[in-house]
Chains A and B, each alone.
Chain A
Amino acid sequence: MSNSSNISFVSKARLWVTNNPDLAFAILLAICVYGYFAFSNELFATHRTTYAIMERFAVLGLVGLALTLCIIAGEIDLSIGSNAALAAVIVVRFTDSLGAINAALIAIAISTLVGLIQGYFIAYLRIRAIVLTVGTLMLLRGVSLFAAEEKTVMLTDFTIPDFISTKMFMYFSPASLLVIAVFVAVALFMQFTRYGREIYAVGGARKEALASGIDLKRPMMVVFSISGFCAGLGGCIIGLRSGTAQALGLQYLLLAGTVAAFIGGVSILGGRGGVIGAAIGTLTVNFLNTGLVFNVTPAFMVQLYLGVLLMVVIVFQTGSQMFDTYQRRQQILGDVDLVRGELLSKKRESPI
């Protein structure tokens, strides 16, 4: 009895892995990275480190989520770092006069609005998102320099940073709980609403989706406003947690977020991947970051590792694409041979 249930569990697991190869690979990679650091450093697998990883997850997870959605829709949002920096500058600058919640709401509203406008223009002008978002990257940098008056803005009252990183339930803080809630909401949205499915459709097969009557404006506006919202929330969390903000900072988020999204199993061709993948990808990047910090690695080496990781993932994806094309070609050739063989044998059988 127990044996049969065991077998069915294994076969179920095998079925799941064949159905979700990307996600299985992401989980495997995450376990490998975590295991490596846990064995090489005894301080790594502790409650405190887990809390620190969750704290990092609060910011990077949002960016990874935003980029995952963008890449699912077949676009990429390069302005995410600038958008986050703008939100951070606004929230830090106005917390003293308006209170943290109001300032954060204003910052998030502005970031979301920026994303919405970007999405509208991308769909209306029918241009690639990279074209417009490079422009807005620069524009938003200018706006945040303007808002910060070219200085590093600072909080004077540090009760809010303390509140944001209070420990709750052993591993979490208000910030990371909020981010997990955002993840759950976006996952439900992507899986169960028409708008979410439209995003997948637009990314995976844009021509077919447009031909079947989807208005490109709606998914683009939804995706980019979620991206703006995530960037804004991430910027607010960073700004309020550290108490300072720089207009030209936070540019490292783009690389880390892209790596997280690609580890989580999105395809650059669009239409693949999901929110769970984004979470796992971000966790992997965080394990790597935190582990490297534990092993006393300079900051630029982290960037090097992330770059190598991204290149490796790209090589794998490109390789699998090439393999797919090769296989399809072989199959077509095989089919042609089959048909030709039949024709030849018929010709031989029939008397002249």
Chain B
Amino acid sequence: MNADAPAISRQPKTPIWLANLVDKYTWLVVILVALFVLTFAYGMITAPNFLTWFNFKTIIRDAALVGIMAIGLTFVTLSGNFFLLSMKETAALAIVAFATAMSAGYGFEISFLFTMGVAVVAGALQGILIGLGGNPIVVTLGAAGLFFGIASWWSDNLVISFRRPHGAEWLGSGSFMGLPNITVAFILIAIVAELVLRYSTFGRQVYLIGSNRAAGKATGHENFSMAIKTCIIASACSAFVAIAFSAQVSSAHVNYFSSSFGSSGDMTILVIATVMVAGNSIMGGFGSSLRSSLGAIFISTVDNMMVLHGFNSGPRVLAVGLMIVFSIIVFALVRRGSRVQE
């Protein structure tokens, strides 16, 4: 959506632009997008205190956690391996690992490395199964149950907390130049991910395998290693979010990322929603991590707007759900018949 809105306003203001748009897309898409932009603008103007710098910072901060996970998932999606249904369970495993290590008295650095190690193992396990030819949805559904069970068993389903001067406050509640550190981390990760995807060999391989797996195989880039690498990236991003969240609240529980986290439903679905609302092709090969970051900010903006208007959680989840379905339909119609779609 974010990508489409400026494209419309950039057209010259003659009746021809409308005709061109309708030619290129269809009436349905144009009307839907126009309606959406109007609603969005109306909500933006009428919401109290929406257009302030402070609110803008709040929006970005809300988007940060989901955004980082969405950037990680974008790698998996771009490489043509659909999406992982185990994002929040990986995060639950990581948060338990981190809090256990912290409460045992190891410093922040060792706990961080330990958690990342756990996440890499979790990601590699899924990646191997996916790379061997297992369906990503089913594999990660099973892995989700497995990780959640392990995390609950490990923490005995209790809240693990660690004392305040623990050396991780800077990540949880510190700030840098007026921005919370987690926001800074989000921006940095977004920039690095975009650069890696756009300019590095690895990034181009991700696009190659995602857009044409047969060509990738013929040129010696198997999906096996790619699935492992991308799953590890996604898991590591989940683990990073878990660490940041745990550092913020100085405790951990397996259910932190389950239902009623943030605005809408659970974390996994919210992350997948972010990737899809941003218009990345689920079949792989088309999209970018910048899109995902903007998608996270966009969802957070809509959510923020609805909170300012005083809506309950029901309508907010409904709105996010409508946005996903709407964007799926619009992107499918726009790409109808092109190779990107199927």
Which A positions have Cβ atoms within 8 angstroms of B? 76, 78, 121, 125-128, 130-132, 134-143, 145-146, 148-150, 247-248, 251, 254-255, 258-259, 262, 268, 298, 300-301, 303-311, 314-315, 317-318, 321-322
Contact B138 A141 (CB under 8 A): no
Contact A268 B138, CB 8 Å, known A125-B332, A126-B342, A135-B276:
yes
Residues of A within 8 Å of B145, CB to CB, are 255, 303-304, 306-308, 310
Inter-chain contacts of B315 with A (CB < 8 A)? 142, 146
With A142-B319, A322-B133 given, is the CB distance from A307 to B138 under 8 Å?
Answer: no
Q: Is the CB of A311 within 8 A of B272?
A: no
B residues less than 8 Å from A307 (CB atoms): 142-149
Set of chain B residues within 8 Å of A251, measured between Cβ atoms: 259, 266
| Given the contacts A150-B314, A304-B149, A131 and B138 also touching, CB distance less than 8 Å | no
What would 10 A/B residue contacts be, using CB atoms closer than 8 Å? A76-B138, A128-B342, A130-B82, A134-B269, A137-B265, A142-B318, A148-B314, A304-B150, A311-B143, A318-B129
**For the complex of A and B, 8 pairs with smallest distance between CB atoms:** A304-B149, A307-B145, A142-B318, A139-B321, A310-B142, A307-B146, A145-B314, A300-B152
Q: Interface size class for chain B?
A: 35 or more
What's the Cα separation between A314 and B142 when bound, in Å? 9
In the complex, are the beta carbons of A136 and B321 less than 8 A apart? Answer: yes
A141's partner among B143, B152, B317 (CB-CB below 8 A) is B317
Contact A126 B341 (CB under 8 A): yes
Quick check: B265 and A127 within 8 Å, CB to CB?
A: no
User: Which residues of A lie under 8 Å from residue B269 when comparing CB positions?
Assistant: 134, 137-138
**B132, B314, B325: which contacts A136 (Cβ < 8 A)?**
B325
Contact B153 A301 (CB under 8 A): yes
- A207 CB to closest chain B CB (Å) equals 11
B175 interface contact, C-beta 8 A? no
A127 nearest CB neighbor, chain B only: B332
Query: In the assembled complex, which residues on chain B have CB atoms less than 8 Å from the CB atom of A143?
Result: 318, 321
Q: Does A138 lie within 8 Å of B324, measured CB to CB?
A: yes
Interchain CA distance A309-B260 in the complex, whole Å:
28
Smallest Cβ-Cβ distance to B85: which chain A residue = A78
Is residue B141 within 8 Å, beta carbon to beta carbon, of the partner chain?
A: yes
CB distance from A29 to the nearest CB of B (A): 16
Collect the chain A residues with CB atoms within 8 Å of residue B147's CB: 307
Q: What residues of chain A lie closer than 8 Å to B272, measured between beta carbons? A: 134
Residues of B within 8 A of A146 (CB): 314-315, 318
Residue contact A314 to B282, C-beta cutoff 8 Å: no
B283 at the interface (CB under 8 A from A): yes
- Taking the complex as formed, is B244 at the interface, i.e. its CB lies under 8 A from any CB of chain A? no
The residue in chain B whose Cβ has the minimal distance to the Cβ of A306 is: B145
CB of A136 to closest CB in B, whole Å: 6
A14 to B313, CA, bound (A): 58
User: Which residue from B137, B316, B328 sits with its C-beta under 8 Å from A135?
Assistant: B328
Chain A nearest Cβ from B148, distance in angstroms: 6
Q: Is the CB of B137 within 8 A of A76?
A: yes
Neighbour of B134 across the interface among A128, A298, A318, CB < 8 A = A318
How close is B292's CB to chain A, nearest CB, in angstroms?
A: 15
- Please, how many angstroms separate the alpha-carbon atoms of A131 and B145 in the complex? 21
Instruction: For residue A79, give the distance in angstroms from its CB to the closest CB of chain B.
Output: 10
Q: Which of A78, A131, A315 contacts B276 (CB 8 A)?
A: A131
**Shortest Cβ distance from A151 into chain B, in angstroms?**
10
In the complex, what residue of chain A is closest to B332 when comparing beta carbons? A125
A128 CB contacts on chain B under 8 angstroms: 82, 282-283, 342
